[in-house]
Structure 1
């Protein structure tokens, strides 16, 4: 049986109000009339008008300012985070990762536990073992970087990193496969500049090793500097 969902009166009122905002009746920054006036204009009761405002506020179109009223902040609902990430190129993703991971590396140097250092060491070894399989190598590489962010003990930084991770992984794999197909980098390359052989070279492994050693030593400045240099190298190869 097919069930037809009937749109609530508040949703209908919200759609009507949104359409009037789109047509410019209330510009961005403009203030809506009071609930009584707005309800009469929409042909609904005050409680329905209030719910319609709540619906559009939840979509990021309206904002209620205490003691001032309801204001238009956008003509359309802001684009979802997932859509923004899917549209972003690898360079843009790496810029954001740099902002997150440089600070995370510095924090990790001062906050990491012995168990987290052991986890990072294991992740580095796994990254080396996976160098013959591009997809597995990228996954292992992401695990190293996530381990550093986790060791920072900053839930927000970790949440941000995890938000970027699927897009970053997909973009890295696409980039490496494209470069490998084009023969970029010769017979040997690191995970961030793959040629026909996607295995990481000694310089790339050393960069990750040095990041780890700085965190192990509790050197926040070195951890941040090395992480920034590593991600900037990655970004330059993605350009």
Structure 2
């Protein structure tokens, strides 16, 4: 799995802007939204994006569409998505979330992984090695993240996998500004290989132990 940073759709942008307006009480609960043509003018997007945005917000229970009458704001309590909460979090907090999960995920992956998932983990392990030796910094870091995310994908718990993947993509962004060589990856390749072997041999205890050493940078 390659983790692209998702580009927001226009509809999602409009939904976010509308949500801001509602949270900041520019549009109050009980009030009717402007008509579609007005919204198209306000946000400078086409009708389909406006409709899609309204659909997104009505699914979330923020808007209520009444056929032939109009669209009303029915709630201003908005639960932020995990993704946007992580966007605002300090990178140390995101890193902590990831490191708390690492050992647990490795243990579960050792038990639950299938052959294809194992092959995936190995592919990224090998990529990590090659790129480290070629001193390709950001590609090597991406391979490292893909390696850990592939382990998360093998753990058999969709929610753990989801949280871990989101956290990893945020860490990637912060990393890119801080490192200029792959020395640390070369040093830690061996312990990552040992983590792979523990998962291959389905040794959950060993996998958890090694994953924790990686988190604590005890190589």
Secondary structure at the aligned position of 2:177 is classed as helix
- Residues 1-239 of structure 1: pairs in structure 2 closer than 5 A: 15=28, 58=61, 77-131=78-132, 132-176=135-179, 180=180, 197-233=181-217
Aligned to 1:65: none
Cα shift at 1:78: 4.6
Give me the whole-angstrom Cα distance separating, in 2, the residues matched to 1:220 and 1:81.
29
Give me the whole-angstrom Cα distance separating, in 2, the residues matched to 1:112 and 1:215.
8
**Would the alpha carbon gap of residues 15 and 122 (structure 1) be closer, same or farther in structure 2, given more than 3 Å must change?**
same
Moved more, 208-217 or 77-86: 77-86
Secondary structure at the aligned position of 1:142 is classed as helix
1:100–1:160 CA contact under 8 A, matched in 2: no
Cα shift at 1:137: 0.9
Give me the whole-angstrom Cα distance separating, in 2, the residues matched to 1:156 and 1:222.
23
**Would the alpha carbon gap of residues 119 and 107 (structure 1) be closer, same or farther in structure 2, given more than 3 Å must change?**
same
1:127–1:140 CA contact under 8 A, matched in 2: yes
1:90–1:172 CA contact under 8 A, matched in 2: no
**So what's the TM-score if we normalise by structure 1?**
0.55
1:94–1:231 CA contact under 8 A, matched in 2: no
Gaps of 5+ in 2: 1-17, 32-57, 63-75
Considering Cα pairs closer than 8 Å and 6+ residues apart, tell me whether 1 or 2 has the greater RCO: 2
Cα shift at 1:83: 3.6
Cα shift at 1:213: 1.1
**So what's the TM-score if we normalise by structure 2?**
0.60
Gaps of 5+ in 1: 1-6, 19-54, 60-74, 181-196, 235-239
RMSD, aligned α-carbons: 3.1
Q: Which has the larger radius of gyration?
A: 1
